[in-house]
């Protein structure tokens, strides 16, 4: 390995830094002589905090500026949350095979005295910036209210208490990576509450053709995570998804068998469907596309 420091680009939040440090630690286990330097890059999504994500209307809100630095050669590698990645990767860049996934579930953080969703009183207010979470929460408890919330995890926890919310919903992975697992009141079961496609997985991005860094990054890849994220992201891409509509997906693996569960809703939240499809390893992208096509057809048939 070249003695030159490998510059790794990331957002500046505590979670982004924890994720990047975790990746670097795994890479150093595989290549102890490698030297790394973290470069913090501010993205559009970090700068616009007073507008809901679906109102900004821009894919790649948390990655574009980092990708620009990677393409220019200012950094050598980037670490992102996979769920923030647009379905299309810019020409000249590639996402390496994915390292092992953290907990994919969503988690409820509730105010003191409330243990889980069923204990919330009617009219209780839950903070979430996600249409997918809002849609599923309200299908389970139509008598509660949701309110928009933006910012990093620590900011959201602070807002919850300052604004008198009864709870907030976050990705379990982020809370765990920051050592805040103890704040979780309830994990949402994958059987009843689908996460964002590739939630809990990380994306290591490098320049296409940089064989040394591709080889290093893929030395820490996890086959099961690669299969899951490929299926879930194929579903996301085929459904035309972004922040504008409720989209959830989770791929479970049993030996050679795959089961992909998907959630798809209209932008206005007036209808949402959850369906599943089964297949075998090696068919993950095809399963994602098939399930999305089937559900889009069903949603369009429900119009009117």
Residue 304 pLDDT > 50, yes or no?
A: no
Task: Delineate the domains of the chain, giving CATH numbers in brackets.
Answer: 6-101+201-221 (3.40.190.10), 106-187 (3.40.190.10), 233-301 (3.30.160.40)
pLDDT tens for 116-167 read 999 999 999 999 989 999 999 999 999 999 999 988 999 999 999 999 999 9
Q: Please tell me the distance from the alpha carbon of residue 75 to that of residue 79, in angstroms, as a whole number.
A: 11
Query: What separation in angstroms does the CA of 231 have from each of 73, 158, 204, 219, 303?
Result: 31, 35, 18, 21, 27
Report DSSP letters for 224-269, one per residue: HHHHHHHHHHHHHHHTT-SSSS-EEEEEEEETTEEEEEEEEE-TTS
Phi, psi of 171 (to 5 degrees): -75, 130
pLDDT tens for 21-57 read 999 999 999 999 999 999 999 987 766 655 555 555 5
Q: At 1, is the pLDDT very low, low, confident or very high (cuts 50, 70, 90)?
A: very low
**Mean pLDDT, all residues of the chain:** 92
- Segment (H or E) for 126: strand 125-127
pLDDT tens for 169-196 read 999 999 999 999 999 999 999 999 999 9
> Mean per-residue pLDDT for 277-287?
97
Q: Which two tokens stand for residue 154?
A: 């620590």
> Mean per-residue pLDDT for 69-76?
97
Task: List, by residue number, the catalytic residues.
Answer: 84
């Amino acid at each position: 390995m070249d003695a030159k420091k490998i510059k790794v680009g990331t957002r500046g939040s505590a979670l982004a830094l924890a994720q990047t440090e975790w990746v670097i630690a795994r890479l150093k286990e595989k290549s102890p002589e490698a030297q790394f330097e973290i470069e913090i890059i501010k993205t559009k999504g970090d700068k616009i905090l007073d507008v809901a994500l679906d109102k900004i209307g821009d894919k790649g809100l948390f990655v574009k500026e980092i990708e620009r630095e990677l393409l220019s050669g200012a950094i050598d590698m980037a670490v992102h949350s996979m769920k923030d990645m647009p379905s299309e990767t810019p020409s000249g860049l590639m996402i390496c095979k994915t390292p092992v996934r953290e907990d994919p579930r969503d988690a409820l953080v509730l105010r003191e005295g409330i243990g889980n969703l069923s204990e919330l009183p009617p009219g209780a207010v839950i903070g979430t910036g996600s249409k997918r979470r809002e849609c599923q929460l309200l299908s389970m408890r139509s008598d509660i209210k949701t309110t928009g919330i933006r910012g990093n995890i620590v900011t959201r926890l602070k807002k919850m208490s300052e604004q008198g919310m009864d709870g907030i919903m976050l990705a379990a992975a982020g809370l765990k990576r920051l050592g805040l697992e103890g704040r979780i009141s309830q994990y949402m079961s994958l059987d009843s509450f689908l996460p964002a496609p590739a939630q809990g997985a990380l994306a290591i991005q490098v320049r296409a053709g940089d064989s040394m860094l591709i080889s290093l990054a893929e030395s820490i890849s996890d086959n099961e995570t690669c299969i899951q994220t490929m299926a879930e992201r194929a579903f996301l891409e085929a459904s035309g998804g972004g922040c504008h509509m409720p989209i959830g997906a989770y791929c479970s693996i049993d030996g050679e068998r795959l089961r992909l569960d998907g959630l798809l809703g209209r932008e206005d939240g007036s209808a949402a469907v959850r369906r599943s499809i089964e297949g075998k390893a090696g068919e993950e992208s095809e399963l994602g596309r098939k399930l999305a096509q089937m559900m889009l057809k069903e949603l369009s048939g429900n119009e009117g």
